[in-house]
Structure 1
Amino acid sequence: MFDESAFVARYGGEEFGILLPRANQYEAIKMAEAIRQQVQQRAIIHQASDVFKCVTISVGIMTVVPSEHIQLISIVHGADQALYEAKRTGRNRISAYSHHKEADSNV
């Protein structure tokens, strides 16, 4: 699923980050959806949840075109905003944010 340039790390208690240096936004969304579906298909019971009976994941995606003007914190912030948009709009879904020199856009 991941190529050799991918990097996966825990980021916070229940959050994980996946860096995909060779992926565009379409590829990142496709990969995130595959992961989301695999988690859902496992049907792991989540007794403490009032939202879903089983464990699900919400995914925030941030894509950027590399540039010396983009700060790491803005990439993390964009991914975090996208994650909370996915949670706010119903959970068990993907939200993407893209930062390009020309314009910002939400997907």
Structure 2
Amino acid sequence: MEIHVDAADGFAVPKDTFVSIRIGDVQKQSRFGPAKTFRFPQQEDNSGLARIEVFHRVGHLTFGLNKLSPNNEKENMEIPVEMPGVSSLPIKLGLQSK
């Protein structure tokens, strides 16, 4: 099953905007552009519900995976953000190899 998301005619998509669609337990997300197709497993019928969410990026951090310990030991990091009253978002990241 495919769901097509198109920006309305004449609408300029804001920079760093993302769209997410969820049907049942499957969620897909992508940058919001003029046209995007999301592919989902076929549903038995079309009477179910779907959810669409729109997100705007407020910050990002690019880091090397080698900064994370392979034994899931958490590393402190700060993501610079552009939000009123907040300059960064402190997080802990861990890596676990399977």
> Same fold by TM (over 0.5)?
no
Q: Taking structure 1 as the reference length, what is the TM-score of the superposition?
A: 0.22
Structure with the bigger percentage of strand:
2
Q: Taking structure 2 as the reference length, what is the TM-score of the superposition?
A: 0.23
Larger Cα-atom Rg? 2
Structure with the bigger percentage of helix:
1
